[in-house]
Amino acid sequence: MWIPRRLCFQNLRDAGLPFVYKRVLSHWCHTSPSRLFVQHSYFSDFANMEDNLGDMGFYSPNPNVRGMTCLNRKAFNKTIQVPVLKVKKEIINKLMKSLKHRLIQRPSLKRVIEDTKDDVNKLVILDPFKIKSVHSFEEGDFLLFKQFDINPQVFQHELELTYENFKCEEILRAVLPEGQDVTSGFSRVGHIAHMNLRDHQLPYRNLIGQVILDKNPGITSVVNKTNTIDSTYRNFQMEVLAGEDNMITKVKENHITYEFDFSKVYWNPRLGTEHERIIGNLKPGDILFDVFAGVGPFAVPAAKRNCVVYANDLNPESYKWLVHNCKLNKVDKKVQAFNTDGRDFIRTTIKSELLKYMKPLSAEQTNSCHVVMNLPALAVEFLDAFKELLEEEPSSNITFPTVHCYSFSKDDDPQKDVKERVEAVLGTKLETLTLHLVRNVAPNKEMICISFKMPGNVIFKRLPETDEPMSKRCRTDEENDVK
Ligand SMILES: C[S@@+](CC[C@H](N)C(=O)[O-])C[C@H]1O[C@@H](n2cnc3c(N)ncnc32)[C@H](O)[C@@H]1O
């Protein structure tokens, strides 16, 4: 049916369409009146769609899935109305890139579909939140349509969304009880997704695990933490929710590969920056003692920097993977690994090695010595093992080890709290130190790293008062300045 051009422009004026569109449409009036007729019918059709979009649940799956505990993927299917453009098959590829920001964004959804009633054109699915009507197009879009000789008319199309087209959170929100928190967050450790589900989510745990597995390529196992981390070895009790039961995994942190059994050792993917910060202070030839080494995230990179490393962990499994990771990263010659209690490690290995390295400080001696103690719940208490560690007081200036000790604090002033607790254990005031906030572990619980030079009056046996105070015979903290 032919629509007079005059009528067409009347409509455009009423609709307040952009100028460029008017020009393009004017072009269509000359060339393709029948298409213009379809355009005319557009305005009433899309009113419904706008109402539909007002509903927050536009992209939510079929509501019948609420309460599902055993995953039935087909039950999620839902039909929605979406805006489409009809585009000639031969120009689709050229057009797609330019039209990218106008297209529907849904997981695994084909944005170009066949039109069963039309051999010439295909349907390009537009983003219903961006293209509500022809008014939604911008000047650039109309120029594009003109360039490719495309009718800018927007049609509506019934589209069936399936399980594959919904996001993880949309699926879980549709299944779990209404109004309750839907947390689909997890820590990723190699192929393992590690969750910490709340009580109300537990009846749905296997479904949640399966959805996480389906929606995250590379994850082949989903586990849930079943206890708080209070075991000696800081590893979690965990339950496999979905996927394989294999907990031996491989991760990369700061370009270094580690392998370990996640069910038997401690690994926290949130500590990468802290490991890097400490290692960044080390120079080739420096000495590193790692009292609570885990599977090696301080020890291996320090050895890669050509430091001399002594690494210890009480957990036989951590020790096994520590040794493994040193070999894996070809630094086994630079790391001596120990499997003993941290206090014993300080009183035996650190004591004997420290004596060798605490040579009088001469002009040439530039290497420093560091002790890392990352067991935040307890490490401060282990500092007492340094008290009177060395019997013989040196007769000349020496360099003391820098200790990096980690602690949790729930205090209002966590840094002051950690400093005071360290001083209480050491029995001395620390004049030079740095306090670093590592991370917020939980609401009102911080993880702090305190770094300080071990004071001489702590590490050496206190001798009866002599004429010259010990502080004069040893380098002071200020002189050593914490690095
Ligand atoms: C918080 S993890 C830190 C591991 C590693 N340094 C890191 O940064 O990821 C603490 C480690 O201390 C070990 N550990 C616990 N108690 C210990 C003790 N008394 N002596 C030595 N190691 C201990 C645990 O097995 C665990 O590997």
The per-residue DSSP string of 401-447 comes to PEEEEEEEE-SSSHHHHHHHHHHHHHTS--SSEEEEEEEEEETTEEE
Residues 14 and 89 in one domain: yes
Residues 153 and 190 in one domain: no
Enclosing domain of residue 227: 183-246
Among 326, 323, 308, 454, which Cα is nearest to 385's?
Answer: 454
pLDDT(43) > 70: no
Residue 258's pLDDT band (boundaries 50, 70, 90)?
Answer: very high
Q: List C-alpha distances in Å: 421 to 277, 405, 407, 478.
A: 23, 12, 10, 21
Please name the residue that has the structure tokens 């349907």: 123
* Annotated binding residue 374: yes
Residues 436 and 395 in one domain: yes
Whether ligand 1 lies within 6 angstroms of the CB of 235 is answered as no
Ligand 1 atom closest to Cα of residue 290:
6
Whether ligand 1 lies within 6 angstroms of the CB of 374 is answered as yes
Single residue among 191, 213, 246 that ends a domain in this structure: 246
Of 216-225, 349-358, 368-377, minimum mean pLDDT range: 349-358
Q: Would you say residue 313 lies in a domain?
A: yes
pLDDT digits (tens, 9 = 90+) for 93-127: 888 888 999 999 999 999 999 988 889 999 999 99
Residue 412's pLDDT band (boundaries 50, 70, 90)?
Answer: very high
C-alpha 177: how far from chain center = 27
Whether ligand 1 lies within 6 angstroms of the CB of 201 is answered as no
How many angstroms is it from 74 CA to the middle of ligand 1? 46
Residues 156 and 188 in one domain: no
Residues 372 and 474 in one domain: yes
In this structure, what is the dihedral angle of CA atoms 327, 331, 334, 339, given to the nearest 10 degrees?
-40
Dihedral-angle region of residue 218 (phi above 0 means left; psi in -120 to 50 means alpha; beta otherwise): left
* Annotated binding residue 313: yes
- Closest C-alpha residue for ligand 1 atom 27: 294
Of 96-105, 247-256, 266-275, minimum mean pLDDT range: 96-105
* Annotated binding residue 121: no
CA angle 55–186–409, rounded 5-degree value: 115
Q: Would you say residue 251 lies in a domain?
A: no
Residues 353 and 448 in one domain: yes
Answer whether 267's CB lies under 8 Å from 250's CB.
Answer: no
For the beta carbon of residue 59, count every other beta carbon within 10 angstroms: 18
* Annotated binding residue 332: no
Residues 238 and 96 in one domain: no
> Which phi and psi angles does 475 have, rounded to 5°?
-65, 140
Those residues whose C-beta lies under 8 Å from the C-beta of residue 91, and which sit 6 or more positions away, are 148, 150
Residues 152 and 222 in one domain: no
Instruction: For residues 263 and 189, give the distance between their C-alpha atoms in angstroms, rounded to a whole number.
Output: 11
Whether ligand 1 lies within 6 angstroms of the CB of 301 is answered as no
pLDDT value, residue 275: 98
Question: For the domain that residue 352 is a member of, what is the CATH number?
Answer: 3.40.50.150
Those residues whose C-beta lies under 8 Å from the C-beta of residue 328, and which sit 6 or more positions away, are 257, 258, 259
Instruction: For residues 297 and 300, give the distance between their C-alpha atoms in angstroms, rounded to a whole number.
Output: 6
Q: Would you say residue 263 lies in a domain?
A: no
In this structure, what is the dihedral angle of CA atoms 317, 320, 325, 328, given to the nearest 10 degrees?
-130
How many angstroms is it from 292 CA to the middle of ligand 1? 4
- Closest C-alpha residue for ligand 1 atom 24: 233
Token reading at 430: 């620390």
Question: For the domain that residue 231 is a member of, what is the CATH number?
Answer: 3.30.300.110
What is the number of domains present in the chain?
Answer: 3
pLDDT digits (tens, 9 = 90+) for 291-334: 999 999 999 999 999 999 999 999 999 999 999 999 999 999 99
Q: Would you say residue 259 lies in a domain?
A: no
How many angstroms is it from 265 CA to the middle of ligand 1? 9
How many angstroms is it from 255 CA to the middle of ligand 1? 22
- Closest C-alpha residue for ligand 1 atom 25: 233
Instruction: For residues 84 and 154, give the distance between their C-alpha atoms in angstroms, rounded to a whole number.
Output: 6
Residues 329 and 235 in one domain: no
How many angstroms is it from 434 CA to the middle of ligand 1? 22
Residues 189 and 160 in one domain: no
Whether ligand 1 lies within 6 angstroms of the CB of 298 is answered as yes
pLDDT digits (tens, 9 = 90+) for 140-157: 999 999 998 898 899 999
Residues 197 and 72 in one domain: no
Single residue among 107, 136, 165 that ends a domain in this structure: 165
Single residue among 112, 133, 165 that ends a domain in this structure: 165
- Closest C-alpha residue for ligand 1 atom 4: 294
Q: Would you say residue 202 lies in a domain?
A: yes
Residues 225 and 344 in one domain: no
The three-class DSSP label of residue 178 is coil
How many angstroms is it from 109 CA to the middle of ligand 1? 46
Q: Does residue 315 or residue 22 have the better pLDDT?
A: 315
Whether ligand 1 lies within 6 angstroms of the CB of 234 is answered as yes
How many angstroms is it from 372 CA to the middle of ligand 1? 11
For 246, which DSSP code?
-
Q: Would you say residue 178 lies in a domain?
A: no
Q: What percent of the chain has pLDDT over 90?
A: 66
How many angstroms is it from 455 CA to the middle of ligand 1? 24
pLDDT(175) > 80: yes
For the beta carbon of residue 4, count every other beta carbon within 10 angstroms: 10
Q: Would you say residue 258 lies in a domain?
A: no
Q: Would you say residue 261 lies in a domain?
A: no
- Closest C-alpha residue for ligand 1 atom 15: 233
pLDDT(234) > 90: no
